[in-house]
Amino acid sequence: MKIAEAARTRRTLGICLGAITAGLASAVIAAPAAIAAPDCSQDNIDATVATAQGQIQGYLASHPAGQKMLMTAAMQPRAQASQTLQAYAQANPQEYQEFTGILAPLGTLQKQCGVQVIPPQYQWAFDQFVG
């Protein structure tokens, strides 16, 4: 009887330890998700948009060819504007990468918070440019 009781006790302890371990593992896996929860407050949205706008203006001021391309694309029919964006990105891969890096937080904000921060008439260009 004592051997059977000892085996049952070990099995019970094993099950309890397994449950505790699984619980801790779940907590460790869930912790980064909880920490990484997006801040969708209006203050954060406004701050992110303002920061991006300032960076965009500064970047375009120092890259007049990029600014000219965007102004040209804005005046073109969508199909032609799409070609203009693609051609510029292919001809200037470093500028394309830098500019998409500036724009990326706006895309992230839209996806995570379900808000529209890009004017709807330019969303197609944003999607094409950022990807």
- Chain position carrying tokens 């801790």: 24
What is the per-residue DSSP string for 103-119? Answer: HHHHHHHHHHH----S-
Question: Per-residue pLDDT tens for 59-90?
Answer: 999 999 999 998 898 889 988 988 999 999 99
Question: Per-residue pLDDT tens for 32-52?
Answer: 544 567 889 999 999 999 999
List the structure tokens of 100. 């998409």
| Residue ranges with strand state E in 1-131 | none
Collapsed DSSP state (helix, strand, coil) of residue 1: coil
Task: Report the C-alpha gap between 39 and 124 in whole angstroms.
Answer: 25
Q: What is the pLDDT of residue 121?
A: 72
Task: Report the C-alpha gap between 112 and 23 in whole angstroms.
Answer: 28
Question: Per-residue pLDDT tens for 113-127?
Answer: 999 888 877 787 788
Indicate the helix (H) or strand (E) that contains 6.
helix 2-35
> What is the DSSP secondary structure assignment for residue 43, as one 8-state letter?
H
Rounded (10°) angle between helices 64-75 and 78-91: 160
> What is the DSSP secondary structure assignment for residue 118, as one 8-state letter?
S
List the structure tokens of 27. 């907590």
